[in-house]
Chains A and B, each alone.
Chain A
Amino acid sequence: MKVQVHTTLKEGVLDPQGKAVEAALNNLGFSGINRIRQGKLFDIDLDTDSKEEAEKLTIEICKVLLANMVIEDYSVKVIQDN
C-alpha cells in the first residue's frame, strides 16, 4: 500500500523559507502570488494491503517522527496500490 504524508507549518508560525521563495518569485517578475508556505511531502510504501492498517501506521509514524506537533500539521493520503 502506498501512502503520502504532507507536513505543513501550522497557521501563525513564521515560515522564513516560504517567505524567501515568495520574495525570489517576486524578484523574477511573477505577480499575483499572495503567499507561499513551504511543507514536506513523504512517499511511503507500506507492507500491508489493508487501508485501515496503512492509515493507522502512517499516523503513528507522523506523530513519532515525521511531524513536530509544536509547529507542524500533517495529512495522510492512502493511495491504493494497483
Chain B
Amino acid sequence: MKPNIIVFPGSNCDRDIHVAIKKTTGQNSKMIWHKETTLDNPNLIILPGGFSHGDYLRSGSIASRAPIMKEVIKKAINGTPVLGICNGFQILTECELLPGILMRNKNMNFICKYTFLISKYENNWIKKNYINKVISMPVAHHDGNYYANKDVIEKLNKDNRIAYQYCSDIGTISEENNINGSINNIAGIFNDKGNVLGMMPHPERAIDVSLGGEDGINFFKTFFEKLG
C-alpha cells in the first residue's frame, strides 16, 4: 500500500507533498492524474494544494467533480484516510466529504505566511503530547475563510472534529489571531468518522528549518506511525 496523490490541472503542491512524505517517513507515493478512474491500493489519499482549474467557478468546485473523485469518495466512505491540504480542503468541502465551505478571506487579501496553530484533541494525525501545544505551519490562500451553519459548527465542536485553530504564539484563540475570518478560527476539520482531514495550513512546507520550520515532520511521522 502507498499514499496516492491526486494531481489536478493547477495543483502545485503535489511534488512538495511527495518529497515531504518520502523525507519524513521513507514512503514512496503514487501520483494519480485526475482523469484516471482507479486508485492504486492507497493507505492514504492526498488532495494537494494549488489552484485546480484556476479556481474557476468556486475554488475546488470543478476538481471535486473530476472522474477520479468518484473513487476517492467511495474509499473515503469506506474508511480510507484522506488528507486535503489548502485547495484539497476546498475540494473536500465541495464534494461534501467535509461540511461547510471555504470562502474568500474576510480581508480580501491573499495570505501567505507562517501561522500559529493549536489542536485540542488526539486523533490519527495528532499525538497526545501535541494537544494544546502551539505549532507553526505556513498558509498560502485566498479562499480560506471557513464557513458553515450554526448546527454544523455545534456538531464539529461537540464531536471534537476541529483539528486545528489559528491562535497566537502562546495559544490564545481570539479574533485578533483569526487570519482569514474563519468561524471559531477553524484551520482544519475532520469528517464524522475521523478518517478525512481537511486543513488550510501546509505541513509539507514545514519539514525543513531552511524553509522556516519543521512542525510538519511530526505531522507526517505521527500519521504513518499510527497507521503501522
Contacts and interface: CB of A to CB of B under 8 A. Distances in A.
Does B bind A? Answer: yes
A16 B147 contact: no
Contacts of A64: 65
A25 interface: no
Interface string A46-82: 0000000000000000001110101100000000000
A26 interface: no
A66 B61 CA distance: 9
Interface string B83-94: 000000000011
Given A14-B103, A65-B57, A70-B101, A20 B148 contact: no
A13 interface: yes
Interface residues of B, number: 21
Nearest to B93: A70
B34 interface: no
B106 interface: yes
Given A68-B58, A70-B147, A70-B148, A17 B108 contact: yes
Interface in B50-109: 57-58, 61-62, 65, 93-94, 99-101, 103-108
Which residue of A14, A16, A17, A66 has the most chain B CB atoms within 10 A of its CB atom?
Answer: A16
B180 to A, nearest CB: 10
A68 B61 contact: yes
A68 B100 CA distance: 10
Given A68-B94, A70-B148, A14 B106 contact: yes
Closest 5 CB pairs of A and B: A16-B104, A70-B101, A16-B108, A20-B108, A71-B101
Interface of B: 57-58, 61-62, 65, 93-94, 99-101, 103-108, 145, 147-149, 181
